[in-house]
């Protein structure tokens, strides 16, 4: 339930850089913990609509995956993406397909 805290921190970092600010509050952005929470290997986006048939969401890091999904009144679908030669293939996609199959079995029961 982070409620988009990353967006607020991103804005603060950009404002501090634009204003040439330094100091204790800005040191947060140089901390390795901050770098770790900003390395999102799984980045997702949804668009709940019957209007769009397809859209994709790209990964935000080179060793990550992007997943776009849409849950509408008629259907549910997703698109997985990665950087060329990245991790979206193989085990990752097999596990996504298996998970979706498990969910369908639950909903059908």
Q: Which range, of 6-20, 33-47, 67-81, 85-99, averages the lowest pLDDT?
A: 85-99
Do residues 91 and 69 make contact, with C-beta atoms less than 8 angstroms apart?
Answer: no
Better-predicted residue by pLDDT, 46 or 86: 46
Nearest in space to 58 (alpha carbons), one of 67, 49, 50: 67
In this structure, what token pair is assigned to residue 94? Answer: 């097999």
**Interval 66-94 mean pLDDT:** 78
pTM beyond 0.75: the answer is no
């Amino acid at each position: 339930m982070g409620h988009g805290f990353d967006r607020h921190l991103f804005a603060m970092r950009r404002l501090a850089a634009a204003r040439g600010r330094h100091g204790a509050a800005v040191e947060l952005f140089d901390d390795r913990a901050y770098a770790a929470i900003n390395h999102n290997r799984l980045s997702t986006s949804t668009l709940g609509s019957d209007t769009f048939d397809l859209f994709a969401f790209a990964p935000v890091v080179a060793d990550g995956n992007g997943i776009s999904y849409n849950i509408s009144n008629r259907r549910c679908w997703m698109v997985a993406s990665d950087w060329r030669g990245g991790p979206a293939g193989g085990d990752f996609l097999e596990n996504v397909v298996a998970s979706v199959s498990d969910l369908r079995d639950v909903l059908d029961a």
